[in-house]
Amino acid sequence: DALNDADTLYEFALREISEMIQVGMPLFSSTDIQDTPVITALISENSCGQSSMAMKLAVLHENVRVIRLREGHHEINNASFTAKMFNLDLVTVDSLSHLLTETRKTVEEGKSIILDLKLNFKDKNETKKFLEMIKRSFDNVELLMNISGIHSELYNRKMMSKYKGFADGVVVSFLDQCLSFGSLLNVHVECGYIPFKFYGTGATVPDDIEGATAERLLAGMFQF
């Protein structure tokens, strides 16, 4: 009889899927490490709204510096309009040694850090060594893989598979433009239930960001 009741089946499906979706709070919001510098590293390879996400996270902080790893002098010499607008402390570096120097200096100053890392190492072992070095060199490091709601499931799965051994959580950008919430669930399940931490819901800094919830994905999947 229950199988013939559409409402019962629908509620059962919602409950089961909701239990599959893992979410979590970011390390910088933990009450156990208040007044201690926290390094939140966003990692990705190609354009996925990560720069905007880094700025949104920085606005949520107090006493924080954003350090961006970018190659090319064009980006280095152009200060971010958003950083100026919100009076954010922003540093752009073009090498790993410069990144480590700025990170150490910032930690010594007692500031938390948002690392905006675009990783384009040709060798997978180079990526592994770099991320392991970041975690080994500093305390209170959280690595968040940044995927996009407008990228294909295949691409997101490829990126998650590459970084899932290092990622402590997942940030999803462009959720407001996502056409397939089911694909995000598929990636989440197949890549080990690494918890979602934040959703980017638009281009506006700092408003278009929200803490990750299972209900938000369910609403997108079932249009309610």
pLDDT band at 73 (very low <50, low <70, confident <90, very high): very low
Rounded Cα distance between 125 and 131, Å, is 10
Per residue in 193-221, pLDDT tens? 999 999 999 888 888 999 999 999 999 99
As a whole number, mean pLDDT of residues 164-169 equals 93
pLDDT of residue 72: 57
Tens of pLDDT, residue by residue over 83-101, are 888 888 999 998 888 999 9
Query: Residue 29 gets which letter from DSSP?
Result: G
Q: What pLDDT score does 62 carry?
A: 83
| Span 170-184, pLDDT tens digits | 999 999 999 999 999
Q: What is the pTM assigned to this prediction? A: 0.89
In the prediction, which pLDDT does 55 show?
Answer: 92
Q: Residue 200 carries which side chain, given as an amino acid letter?
A: G
| CA proximity to 117, closest of 81, 139, 141, 151 | 141
